[in-house]
Amino acid sequence: MQVTCRGRQRFRSRSVRENALATILPDIENVRRSPLPPATANENSRHSHLINRVVALLALSILVNYIDRGNLAIAAPLLKGELGLSDWQLGKLLASFFVTYSLFLPLSGWMVDRFDVKWVMASGFFLWSAATAVTGISRGFAALLTARLLLGLGETVAYPSSSKVLAQYVPEVHRGFANALIVSGVGLGPALGAYFGGMLVASFGWRPFFLVLGFVSMLWLIPWLKWMPRKGSVTAISTVGDSSAEFAEILMQRSLWGTCGGLFGVNYVLYFEITWLPSYLTRERHFSLETMAKIVGVGYLCYAVASIFSGWVSDRWIASGATPTLVRKTFTGVGVGSAGILLLGCVLAGPTLSVILLLAACACGGISGSNVWPITQTLAGPKTAGRWTGLQNFFGNLAGVLGPALTGFVVGRTGRFFLAFVIMTVVSLLASLSWICVVGPVKQIAWTQRSTAPDALS
């Protein structure tokens, strides 16, 4: 009888734990603990090499991703003249990418969690590469618009797939550097695209540029299909079993809205630099086009280098005993806030100092960007990383729609960039507070079906 009572007590205790909706398990932040049975040295080594190659491919995919989304701007001067496009039509083509990209991110996140990420990523990569190639044979505005919309649709799989893979197979103590390699493509993609793309367009024309870029990019699929493990073929890293969540449960989390607000601010600064910084440097600072191109190119390089270095440092800090909460929030919050303050200093300083502050701001953007997705992957866990990333990226990319438009409106009304820089600084500081104060402890959430949660919105 005593044994039976104890068994019933254990059963009730386990039921209570399982009925908690999205609770943060208090011991999950101990990143050194492994819930998996010990594996042989050969198995660990083989899996490690395999996942390292997959992470390298994901980093390359983001590099291609950012080259492809910016290639129209490179070819715009020749393309506009040959096809007789108006400024209004060109503007719609440049903005159309974000329509499908933003709207379909939640769907892609759901697909990544529901189906095999290997084939979801392959399908999306093929679609956006094909859209790039089709752009090279387009004969009018309608065909170009269709290609750009398909490009945005295809590229929606990139970040949810990356988060899914890293949450499944990369431990917390290595996740910062792995994400930093992927995020470095945000800086290297536009830099390489502008430099080499400009030379190709000048030498061979815009049509061969799109055709070569589209078809050559498809070669990425060969190693991806060979090296990416099939679903269930490699043991995943999970600290909360097989728990997962649907969109309604994710939306109830305070930490989701913290990551959305934080990413919005990070992207606001990034898209400001991509869309309006060249105009600021030439119109208000009176730099030549060549000097402006060099400054912007070095800025992107600073972003990439700072991202990789910060990802490595953050992992070493966690490995030394610091909690992911302290480490990840420090890099994201301090990074984005510092970027906004430095850019405001850029508009107030003299020519030489302004360039130094600008490059430092780009580096701070990389510092913040390197730790954005590790937070998401840890909170969501392997089973929900795709959905959470899709939602977060959807809200975060609204900055790509609102930011450039608001900046254009402010500059048009005032004739100067000062107020636009002030607004950007305020947004970046609010994003810093969102990362530090709104996001809860950086621990995996235990998703179940009932009851309430400490981290849920009330």
Per-residue pLDDT tens for 99-153?
Answer: 888 889 889 989 988 888 999 999 999 999 999 999 989 888 899 899 989 999 9
pLDDT in tens, 233-260: 555 555 545 566 788 888 889 999 999 9
Q: What is the mean pLDDT of the chain?
A: 81
- Does residue 382 belong to any structural domain of this protein? yes
How far is 306 from 289, CA to CA, in rounded Å? 26
pLDDT of amino acid 279: 76
Residue 310 has pLDDT above 60, yes or no: yes
pLDDT of amino acid 242: 54
- Does residue 354 belong to any structural domain of this protein? yes
Residues in the chain: 458
Non-local CB neighbours of 321 within 8 Å, separated by 6+ positions: none
How far is 226 from 249, CA to CA, in rounded Å? 35
- Does residue 214 belong to any structural domain of this protein? yes
Residue 33 has pLDDT above 60, yes or no: no
Residue 327: which pLDDT band, with cuts at 50, 70 and 90?
A: very high
How far is 253 from 85, CA to CA, in rounded Å? 46
- Does residue 407 belong to any structural domain of this protein? yes
Q: What are phi and psi of 253, to 5 degrees?
A: -90, 125
pLDDT of amino acid 367: 93
Mean pLDDT of 29-57: 61
Share of the chain above pLDDT 90, in %: 35
Least confident of 22-26, 226-230, 276-280, 445-449: 22-26
Q: Please write down the long-range contacts of 36-45, taking CB distance under 8 Å and 24 or more positions apart.
A: 36/235, 36/237, 39/235
Residue 23 has pLDDT above 70, yes or no: no
pLDDT of amino acid 202: 78
pLDDT of amino acid 276: 78
- Does residue 255 belong to any structural domain of this protein? yes
The DSSP call for residue 383 is: T
Least confident of 122-131, 178-187, 263-272: 178-187
Number of domains in the chain: 1
- The more confidently predicted of residues 137 and 16 is 137
- Does residue 78 belong to any structural domain of this protein? yes
Strand partners, 446: 23
CB 193 within 8 A of CB 74: yes
- The more confidently predicted of residues 457 and 204 is 204
Mean pLDDT of 403-432: 89
Residue 29 has pLDDT above 80, yes or no: no
Query: What is the domain range of residue 119?
Result: 47-446
- Does residue 457 belong to any structural domain of this protein? no
Residue 48 has pLDDT above 90, yes or no: no
Cα torsion 413, 279, 403, 329 to 10°: value is -130
pLDDT of amino acid 316: 93
- The more confidently predicted of residues 25 and 170 is 170
- Does residue 157 belong to any structural domain of this protein? yes
- Give the CATH number for residue 425: 1.20.1250.20
Residue 38 has pLDDT above 70, yes or no: no
Residue 374 has pLDDT above 70, yes or no: yes
